[in-house]
Structure 1
C-alpha cells in the first residue's frame, strides 16, 4: 500500500496545487483506515515540496516515486520510495527517510536513539537500514530480484548536526546509509553529484507496469531470513523444552505434516496450560523448527506488545516481521502454507470490534488464510471484557468451518520453582468462594508481608543480589504520571502497624515504549520486568502478564476483599477505566484472574499483602510471616 505514486516530475507539479494535501489526507483514510495526525499532515506540507525539489535538481524527474509506502509485516511506512532500474537492468528501490530537524540531542548512552523536541526516536540511518533490510528479506527473492538502497534526507539540518549524526552512525551497520543535510542537497558541483549522494546516479526510469509488478509482489520472509531465525532460536538456551513441552511441540509438528499432506484442509491446534507451563517457550521453539522447513512461511503472533518486544529482543530485531503484535488486522503474507502461532490467545480480542458475531472476526480471517493455526491459551488469564477466547469457542469454530482440531493440555509446572503445590494453592485461593487452605508446601518461598515497606525491602534485597525482583499491584491507584520520567509516586499506601502509622509510596512503571533519554535507569514499559531499575516502580497486570521474574511481591488493592469464605468485588476502588463501571459480580471474575496472574509471575518466591485490613488478616492466617525460619521458607 502507498499514499501517492507517479513520476517525480508529475508529483512536483501536483504538490504545488492547493488541494494536493487534502487529496492525500482523504486517500490516507481510505488506504490505512484512520485519519493522519495533524503533525503528519504538517510534515507532508513541509517535506514533500522540499524532497521533490531535491529530486528534480538531481535530474531524477522521470523516476517513479511512492509516498508513504507501507511495509505491512512491520506496521512501518517509508516516507518516500524511488523505483527505477540499476545499470545491470535489475529493478532498484531507494528508501528515503525525511526529517525536518534543525537540531537534535544525542547521547553516548543511547547511540541508536536521538531526542528531537520532546520525543526520542531512532537514529535516521538506523531507521533507513531497517527499511532496506525488510525489502531485501521480504520482497526480493528468486524470480523477483531487487536492489535496495536507502538514505536519510534532513533537508533543513545544518552541517554541524549532520556531522554529529554521521559520526554516531559510523562503525556500525547504519554507517552504510548516507545522512544528508541542507548543504548536501543542492546540485553542487552538478546534478549528477547530487544524484550520486542520494544513491541514485545510476538509476534509470521504469514504466508504471514495472512499478505495479513491484507493488503486487507478495511480502513473505526469504529462505535466508528463515534459516537465520531458525538457527538463532535453536541456539537460545531459553527455548529448551522439557517433558510434555516437547510432546506438545511434536504434536504441533505432526499437525503441520498432516496439513501438508491434505492440502487445503485447515487445522486448529490449541495448547492449554496454566502460568509457567511453558506455552511461550514452546511457541518460540516451534517458530525455530518451522523456519528451517522447506517452503516455510510461519508467524509468531501475540496480542501483547510487551511480550512481542521481549521476544524480538531475545532473537533479534531483524526478525521483527516474523514475530509481531496481533491487534486489529491480519499480518501480511499469511498464505495457505502458513503456520500461525498465536501466544496468549486468551487476550486475542484486544478491541471490541474484533467480535461481531460468534467468533472474533480478525482471528477468523487468520484461521481462514493459514494452513495451521496453533493457539496457546489459559482461560484464567482473561482480565478484560474485550478478551475472552476459550477452548470451547475454538472447538466450535473448527467444527463450523470443517477444520481438523487437536487439543494439548500442559500439566508440568516450570515457573514457581516447579511447585505444583503452589500452583494448586493459588488456583484454589482465587476461586470465587470456598475454604482456602493454609500453605503447607516446602518447595516454594511463600509468605505474607506485614506492610508495603517490608515488601519493598524484600524486593530490594533480592535485586541487590543480582536477581530479578518486582513489585506489582492491582490497578487501584491513579496513573497520571507523564509518559516519560521523572515518574510521580502514585501508588500511596498508609497503614497502622504495631509501631504506629506508616506511609509508603512508589511510582507506577513508565508508560513509554522506549527508555527516557535522560533516565536510562528507568526501564520502558515493555522491559520493566527484565531491565535494571524495574524494581523501583510498581507494575500492573498489563505490564506483568506474560512476564516472569525470580522474586514476586504482590499488593492486593481494595477492589478485591475477603469476607468469610467469599471474595467480594468492589469496582469503585479500581482506577481501570475498562473495568470500574462493571457490576460487582462481573468485575469479580476479572479481579480474581488478575491477582491469580500476578501471584504466578515469580519463579522462586512470592510475597502477598492486602491494603484491606480484613483481607490482610485472612492472608496472614494462611501464610507464614515474611522472614519466619520455618520449613516453609527456602534458603535465600
Structure 2
C-alpha cells in the first residue's frame, strides 16, 4: 500500500497486475453506507443506524502506514479499519453495535427496499444550487431543461423509455444544465446520476456542488460511463450523460467488458439525456454518435427527441470565432474565413514566456485562466506529483513547464495549477476566461495547408493508442482517424476560453499561417472601416485594466 499525495480517500495498491490508485477501504465502506441511507426507502423509514467498517483480513500494518494518514481521518473515523490479527477487535466492534440478532430481518428490508433519494439528500442538493450563480440556466438551456424534466416524468409515469439527444457546441453551458437536471430530477424523487467518461468534469462539478457536503454522498451521484455494464433494465430513473461523444464501445481497464456503453446507458435508465458534439471526439476509442444513440433507442422502442443548444457563453457569446477556428484548422469550410467576431481576443506569441506571463497576469483576477498543450510531451511517472518537474521544455527559450499533477482531480480550479499545463483530458468539458495553448509538432503548416503528424505525439499518449496496428491493417482509415483526433484536440483546446485564446506554435510556419489569417481579417476591417485597432490583437499588445 502506498500513499498518494494530496488526494482525499485515495491510496495506491496492487490491482490488476500493477500498482494502481483506488479508493481508501474506509471510504468504500462509508460510501456504501451513505448510499443505503440516501437511497433505500426502508432504511429511511425504519431509521436504521448503519455502522460501516472495513476488514482487511490479509493486510499487515506498517510504520507510517498510508491507510492511517490524516488526510483519510474523516473516513477512518466513520468506518474503522480492521486488519490481520484484529479479529478480536472486529468482534468487539460488532458486539458493541449489535446487541441481539434479528434473524436477518434488517438485511431483508434493505434488500427489498425501494430505491429513492432521501429527503435530506434532495434538500441538501437543492440548497447547494440556491444563489450559486455558476449554476444559473438561461435561454435555450431553460427550453431543454423543461423538455428533459417533462420526458423524465413521462418515462417514470408511463414506463415508456424516453431518450433526449442535445446537440451542443463549445460554450453552450451544457454542463451547468446537466447539473441542474441532476438536482431537479433527484428533488422529484428520481434515482438519477450524472455520467461522463472523462473524470475531469465529474470531479470539478462535484467539488463545486458539494460545498460542505461530504465526498461520499456526492460521489454516488457522479459516475464514469463504464458503471452500467451489468445494470438491470431501468435500474435508474434518469441518467444525464455529458460529453456523450466520448463514450466507448466497451468498458473496463482493458476495454473488454460489455457490448456498448451507449446501449448500456439506455438499457439501464427509464430516461436518458445525451449531450453530444461529434467534433469533440479526441481519442481513437471515442465512439459516441447521434446515429448510435438513435440505433439503440430504436432497439428498445424508446421515444427519442433531438434538440440543439446554441453557443452563448464561450467566445464572448459569439459563434463567429467557433466557425473561424474550424475554418482555420481546415476541419470544415465556413462563411467565417475572414471574420472572428469583434469582441474575442485571439493572439499569437512567438515566445512561450510571454504567453505564460500574460495568462498568469489574467489569472490573478479570478483564477480562471490556464495554459494547456497538445499531447506532444511525455507525462513521466516520476514527475506526476512534482510541479517543479519539467515535462514541456523549449531549450532555445529556456522555457520549462510541468504537466498537470497526478495528485489532484481538480486541476482547472486549483489555485496553484496556473504553474502547470493541462491537457485535453483535464480540460475537456470545462472552460476558462482565457486559455493559452501550446501547439506541438503534431500540427504544422506547409504552403498554407494544415497537416497533422501522429508520430509527434508523446509515447505516454493514450488518445491514439492502437493506431500503429490499425495503420498496418487499414492504413487509409487509420490515417483519417488520427488526423481527425489531432484537429479535434486543438479545436477543443482553442475553444476553452470564453474571452480569449492565446497560442504559441512550435512550428514557425504554423505560427505564420495563423498570423496571415489574422492579417486577412485586419485588411477586411481596414477596408470597411469597422475597427481601427485590430492589429493589436495579432501583435499581442492589448492592454487590460
- The 5 Å alignment of 1:140-179 reads 140-141=42-43, 146-151=48-53
What is residue 243 of structure 1 aligned with on the other side? 139
- 1:167-192 Cα offsets, whole Å, 9 max, x none, are 995xx7975666789999868xxxxx
What is residue 617 of structure 1 aligned with on the other side? 512
What is the deviation of 1:243?
0.8
What is the deviation of 1:533?
1.5
Equivalent of 2:442, from 543, 559, 574? Answer: 559
- 1:78-97 Cα offsets, whole Å, 9 max, x none, are xxxxxxxxxxxxxxxxxxxx
Is the contact between residue 230 and residue 290 of structure 1 (CA under 8 Å) also seen in structure 2?
no
What is residue 399 of structure 2 aligned with on the other side? 504
Q: Please say if 1:314 is aligned against 2:216.
A: no
What is residue 75 of structure 1 aligned with on the other side? none
**Structure with larger Rg:** 1
Extract unaligned runs of 5+ from structure 1.
1-38, 40-100, 188-193, 495-500, 513-523
3-state DSSP class of the match of 1:441?
Answer: coil
Equivalent of 1:273, from 129, 149, 168? Answer: 168
CA distance in 1, matches of 2:340, 2:137: 30
- 1:580-628 Cα offsets, whole Å, 9 max, x none, are 5354332111111100000011122110221112111101222379996
What is residue 148 of structure 2 aligned with on the other side? 252
With over 3 angstroms needed to count, the CA separation of the structure-2 counterparts of 1:461 and 1:220, relative to structure 1, is: same
- 1:83-139 Cα offsets, whole Å, 9 max, x none, are xxxxxxxxxxxxxxxxxx9xx99x9xx796798999999887766544432332233
CA distance in 2, matches of 1:442, 1:409: 25
- 1:223-264 Cα offsets, whole Å, 9 max, x none, are 432342233234432111111111111111222233345x23
With over 3 angstroms needed to count, the CA separation of the structure-2 counterparts of 1:545 and 1:217, relative to structure 1, is: same
Extract unaligned runs of 5+ from structure 2.
14-18, 472-477, 523-532
Give the count of matched residue pairs.
502
CA distance in 1, matches of 2:197, 2:33: 27
CA RMSD in angstroms comes to 4.2
- The 5 Å alignment of 1:136-535 reads 136-139=37-40, 140-141=42-43, 146-151=48-53, 200=96, 202-207=98-103, 211=107, 214-215=110-111, 217=113, 221-261=117-157, 263-293=158-188, 295-316=189-210, 317=215, 318-327=217-226, 329-330=228-229, 335=234, 338-349=237-248, 351=250, 361-432=260-331, 437-438=337-338, 440-482=340-382, 483-485=384-386, 488-494=389-395, 501-512=396-407, 524=408, 526-535=409-418
Is the contact between residue 569 and residue 584 of structure 1 (CA under 8 Å) also seen in structure 2?
no
CA distance in 1, matches of 2:83, 2:190: 42
The alignment's TM-score, normalised by the length of structure 2, stands at 0.78
What is the deviation of 1:202?
4.1
CA distance in 1, matches of 2:60, 2:340: 69
Is the contact between residue 415 and residue 603 of structure 1 (CA under 8 Å) also seen in structure 2?
yes
Between 1:377-386 and 1:309-318, the stretch displaced more is: 309-318
Relative to its length, the structure with more helix (as a share) is 2
Q: Please say if 1:604 is aligned against 2:505.
A: no
CA distance in 2, matches of 1:284, 1:149: 31
Larger RCO, structures 1/2 (Cα 8 Å, 6+ apart): 2
